[in-house]
Amino acid sequence: MINLEGEMKMNNNDLVKNDLNFTPITVPVYKIIAIYGNIRSRMPDFKKAIEQGYNVGNYRDLATKRMEQHNPDANDRALLNDNYFTLVGNPTLGDPANSGEQIIINDLEQKVFQPLKLQLLNMNSSTKLNSSWALPLAESKEEAKAIYDKIKTNGAPYITVLSPKQVKELRNNLYALPNVRERILEGFLQGNLTEKKDYVKHVKAIKQVDDMSRILGYAPGGFTDMRLVWAGSVGNYYANAYSSNSLNYYYGRLFGVGARGAGAPTEKSK
């Protein structure tokens, strides 16, 4: 049930407040939800939203819904372009062996990542983090490393791997390595080059620039195990993406989107 104040009523009578005043719709749920607060503390509320029909939002969801050709609602587009969001659908993994290599997961809804999705959604304020303020993949480093390597192998079609050297250069300058950043953006948009071209054009129009060399940067954090990608706004600040935010203190907006094609199973869910 949806009420008119931008809140979604849960089966247990709790209310999850939508942080931004997105346009209400009634079938099947709101198109978009943003839940603001400490990421760990608000994850239980975000999990409730997922249980009520939302999907975890990812970069592709955010980028496309910022554009008029994919989202006819002007109010929603403005909110999406002028705010920043934490994307549960894009966890980033730092090699537990501390090599410096990192993996960006571009589509968490793929079946191969189901254990990671459950681990993220079950996070709460009591969840213990590791020494780099990231979510441990497992209790031991050896087990965490095995999980990391398995994801790197089995999740290959849906991930972007950054070498230790690339991570270091981007940490020093988030606008370095333009070819690598092109690949990161293509990965975020799950290989859809038309959407990538459209989104670059969209960002250029809002920023009123032709030179994209200092737009759409990527800033990886220094960590092991798992963090989330944070995507900057387009309208007010730089349209960058980051994995540099600690899960311990970070406040942001957890981003979800209305269920795609409610009812029929998809290849992702089979």
Q: Do the domain assignments include residue 269?
A: no
Which structure tokens are listed for 264? 């029929």
Stretch 31-39: mean pLDDT, rounded?
A: 93
Stretch 198-219: mean pLDDT, rounded?
A: 92
> What pLDDT does residue 4 have?
33
Q: Do the domain assignments include residue 231?
A: yes
Q: Do the domain assignments include residue 264?
A: no
- Confidence category of residue 12, pLDDT binned at 50, 70, 90: low
Cα 253 to chain centroid distance, Å, stands at 10
CA torsion sign, 34 to 76 to 107 to 242?
negative
| pLDDT tens per residue, range 112-153 | 999 999 999 999 999 999 999 999 999 999 999 999 999 999
> What pLDDT does residue 263 have?
33
Q: Do the domain assignments include residue 20?
A: yes
> What pLDDT does residue 194 have?
97
Whether residue 104 contacts residue 162, with contact meaning beta carbons closer than 8 Å, is answered with yes
Q: Do the domain assignments include residue 263?
A: no
| pLDDT tens per residue, range 179-208 | 999 999 999 999 999 999 999 999 999 998
* 174: containing domain: 7-258
Q: Residue 78, Cβ neighbours under 10 Å: how many?
A: 13
Q: Do the domain assignments include residue 163?
A: yes
| pLDDT tens per residue, range 220-254 | 999 999 999 999 999 877 789 999 999 998 999 99
- Confidence category of residue 258, pLDDT binned at 50, 70, 90: confident
**Structure-model confidence comparison of residues 11 and 41, the more confident one:** 41
Which structure tokens are listed for 247? 């899960």
> What pLDDT does residue 259 have?
63
> What pLDDT does residue 5 have?
37
Count: domains in the chain: 1
Q: Do the domain assignments include residue 266?
A: no
Please check the confidence at residue 2 and state whether its pLDDT lies above 50.
Answer: no
- Confidence category of residue 44, pLDDT binned at 50, 70, 90: very high
CA-wise closest residue to 256 among 18, 2, 7: 18
Q: Do the domain assignments include residue 268?
A: no
d(CA 7, CA 59): 24
Phi and psi angles of residue 146, each rounded to the nearest 5 degrees, phi first = -65, -40
> What pLDDT does residue 27 have?
53
What is the chain's mean pLDDT, rounded?
Answer: 89
Q: Find the range with the poorest average confidence among 9-18, 42-51, 101-110, 158-167.
A: 9-18
d(CA 187, CA 192): 9
| Per-residue DSSP letter, 268 | T
> What pLDDT does residue 270 have?
37
Burial of 23-41, coded b for 16+ CB within 10 Å and e otherwise, reads ebeeeebbbbbbbbbebbe
| Percentage of the chain exceeding pLDDT 70 | 88
| pLDDT tens per residue, range 64-80 | 999 999 998 999 999 99
d(CA 52, CA 9): 9
Stretch 173-182: mean pLDDT, rounded?
A: 96
